[in-house]
Amino acid sequence: MATDLARNDRGIELRAARRDELDGWYDTLVRAFGGVSEAAEERQLSLELIEPERTIGAWDGAACVGTAGAFDFRLTVPGGAPVRAAGITMVGVAATHRRRGVLTSMMRRQLDDVRSWGRPLAVLTASEPDIYGRFGYGAATFQATAEIDTSRVRLAVPPGTDDVRLRYAAPADVLDACEALYARQVPLRPGMVARLPRWERVALLDPESERNGASPLQCVVAERDGDLVGYARFRVRPDWDQAGPKGSVLLTDLEALDPAAGAAVWRFLFDIDLTSTLHTRGRPVDEAWQHLVSDIRRCRVTLRDSLYVRLVDVGAALEARTYQAPVDVVFAVEDDFCPWNAGRWRLTGDAKGASCARTEEPAELALSVRELGAAYLGGVPLTSLAAGGRVRELRQGALTEASVAFGSPVAPWLPHGF
Ligand SMILES: CC(=O)SCCNC(=O)CCNC(=O)[C@H](O)C(C)(C)COP(=O)(O)OP(=O)(O)OC[C@H]1O[C@@H](n2cnc3c(N)ncnc32)[C@H](O)[C@@H]1OP(=O)(O)O
């Protein structure tokens, strides 16, 4: 646990922040990100969600100069199981203390902690992609952002779309029903995270200071025969010029249970009067709307790295997921930062389950734990990493076998930051 004291070699003390220190600890984090305060309700919620005993503070005397935290998530992995994963968060080092190894010492302590908690995975989203690879994290999910010219792009909807009824609702009034629908989606896509208590409130945060001229959060629910089958939360930003209206729709959340429900919600978002652009952020890279549009180029889709995965316990992590095709491969894993993972592991598995144990047999694929993290959720093919020289095939056929087995029929996706 992070509660016992430790010093790194530069006289900085690492320990968990006590509850009565959390405010100051959080101020250090805010300053590390530039010092612009969040809205009061956002800060309040962040402080409620953080578990003090899973934090790390770096203290230079009485001053907090470094922060890191961990949420106790359950992450969906290929096959649908919810696997315990430390959601690493709130990492910052005071600008006065940067590039002296404070982050490195916090990462060292944190991964030891995560291991002692028995969590096979650590996951995070990175402020900058360059930071976490050295600690064994690999970019495992990507997300799509789109800027859709809805004045030009048409949407072709599937049969049944007209049977779906839409109505506006206050986001808080339908929250429980929307959360129940969300919970049904979580096992269906690797990378999704089951809601922890109080996390549903994150979706309703709507501080006026962060709207930038857009409306308060709006919600439309989709129903069929009175049952909720989808929802969208969004804002509208009106705008006008000489030629008339050119407002934007800013999509925040969208879930739907079936193709017609999804198409009904997307059609609604495309058709809001006085708007000509639909902005979407952080959506799945394989989302179906991309196949319904008349002109994908005018949707300006861009991809970005999203969830980084670190296997803290290689054997337990590889056993916790299933494999879409049979696999029996010996991996030689390099892991300088967590040497307990290094060495040869034999993975055997299929769509029903897997076992992964240490072995003395000859290695068939060689890679570092970072590549294993990138491939773990099925979104980054091992063949692609191998093409870049990041995975080496030592037995002919092992690469294709493992790459096919590791894949996922749906792209992994992290629905929200943390
Ligand atoms: C999960 C999250 O919360 S992501 C949020 C991360 N936080 C931020 O971006 C806030 C602003 N930045 C910071 O607070 C700090 O610069 C941190 C936390 C990114 C780095 O802290 P430091 O204590 O300076 O890192 P540390 O000295 O341990 O550096 C370790 C190595 O990472 C490198 N490194 C650190 N930060 C960066 C960076 N932003 N970009 C590239 N390399 C970096 C260092 O050069 C060093 O490399 P080396 O081992 O080859 O010498």
* Mutation test residue for ligand 1: of 46, 103, 106, 337, the one with most atoms within 8 Å of CB: 103
Which residue's C-alpha comes closest to atom 34 of ligand 1?
131
CA distance 136 to 123: 11
Is 104 near ligand 1, meaning CB less than 6 Å away? yes
pLDDT for 3? 38
Average pLDDT over residues 103-117: 98
CA of 112 to the centre of ligand 1 (A): 19
Average pLDDT over residues 129-144: 98
pLDDT for 180? 98
- Indicate which atom in ligand 1 lies nearest the CA of residue 98: 24
Asked if 6-119 and 143-305 have one fold, the answer is: yes
* Mutation test residue for ligand 1: of 54, 97, 98, the one with most atoms within 8 Å of CB: 98
Average pLDDT over residues 225-242: 98
Which residue's C-alpha comes closest to atom 50 of ligand 1?
134
pLDDT for 146? 98
Express each pLDDT in 251-291 by its tens digit: 999 999 999 999 999 999 999 999 999 999 999 999 999 99
Rounded to two decimals, the pTM is 0.97
102 is in an annotated binding site: yes
**Topology annotation, domain 143-305:** Aminopeptidase (3.40.630)
Average pLDDT over residues 165-170: 98
Is 385 near ligand 1, meaning CB less than 6 Å away? no
298 is in an annotated binding site: no
Is 128 near ligand 1, meaning CB less than 6 Å away? yes
For the chain, what is the mean pLDDT? Answer: 96
- How would residue 89 be classed by pLDDT, with cut points 50, 70 and 90? very high
Is 101 near ligand 1, meaning CB less than 6 Å away? yes
pLDDT for 11? 87
174 is in an annotated binding site: no
Is 131 near ligand 1, meaning CB less than 6 Å away? yes
What does the domain layout of the chain look like in residue ranges?
A: 6-119, 143-305, 313-406
CA of 132 to the centre of ligand 1 (A): 8
282 is in an annotated binding site: no
Q: What does CATH list as the number for 6-119?
A: 3.40.630.30
- How would residue 4 be classed by pLDDT, with cut points 50, 70 and 90? very low
pLDDT for 139? 98
Catalytic pick from 26, 73, 132, 337? 132
- How would residue 10 be classed by pLDDT, with cut points 50, 70 and 90? low
Q: Is the pLDDT of residue 9 over 90?
A: no
406 catalytically annotated: no
ipTM: 0.98
CA of 107 to the centre of ligand 1 (A): 11
CATH among 3.40.50.1010, 3.40.50.920, 3.40.50.1820, 3.30.1050.10 for 313-406: 3.30.1050.10
Average pLDDT over residues 59-71: 97
DSSP collapsed to 3 states, the chain: CCCCCEECCCCCEEECCCHHHHHHHHHHHHHHCCCCCCCHHHHHHHHHHCCHHHCEEEEECCEEEEEEEEEEEEEECCCCCEEEEEEEEEEEECHHHCCCCHHHHHHHHHHHHHHHCCCCEEEECCCCCCCCHHHCCEECCEEEEEEEECCCCCECCCCCHHHCEEEEECCCCCHHHHHHHHHHHHHHCCCCECCCCCHHHHHHCCCHHHCCCCCCCEEEEEEECCEEEEEEEEEEECCEECCEECEEEEEEEEEECCHHHHHHHHHHHHCCCCEEEEEEEEECCCCHHHHCECCHHHHCCEEEECCEEEECCHHHHHHHCCCCCCEEEEEEEECCCCHHHCEEEEEEECCCCEEEEECCCCCCEEEEHHHHHHHCCCCCCHHHHHHCCCEEECCCCHHHHHHHHHCCCCCCCCCCCC
Is 344 near ligand 1, meaning CB less than 6 Å away? no
- Indicate which atom in ligand 1 lies nearest the CA of residue 68: 3
Is 90 near ligand 1, meaning CB less than 6 Å away? yes
* Mutation test residue for ligand 1: of 59, 91, 337, the one with most atoms within 8 Å of CB: 91
Share of the chain above pLDDT 70, in %: 98
Which residue's C-alpha comes closest to atom 45 of ligand 1?
99
128 is in an annotated binding site: yes
- How would residue 165 be classed by pLDDT, with cut points 50, 70 and 90? very high
pLDDT for 5? 43
Q: Is the pLDDT of residue 22 over 70?
A: yes
pLDDT for 8? 54
Express each pLDDT in 325-336 by its tens digit: 999 999 999 999
Is 123 near ligand 1, meaning CB less than 6 Å away? no
Is 103 near ligand 1, meaning CB less than 6 Å away? yes
CA of 189 to the centre of ligand 1 (A): 31
101 is in an annotated binding site: yes
- Indicate which atom in ligand 1 lies nearest the CA of residue 126: 4
Average pLDDT over residues 236-259: 98
Is 250 near ligand 1, meaning CB less than 6 Å away? no
- How would residue 1 be classed by pLDDT, with cut points 50, 70 and 90? very low
331 catalytically annotated: no
pLDDT for 383? 98
Express each pLDDT in 337-384 by its tens digit: 999 999 999 999 999 999 999 999 999 999 999 999 999 999 999 999
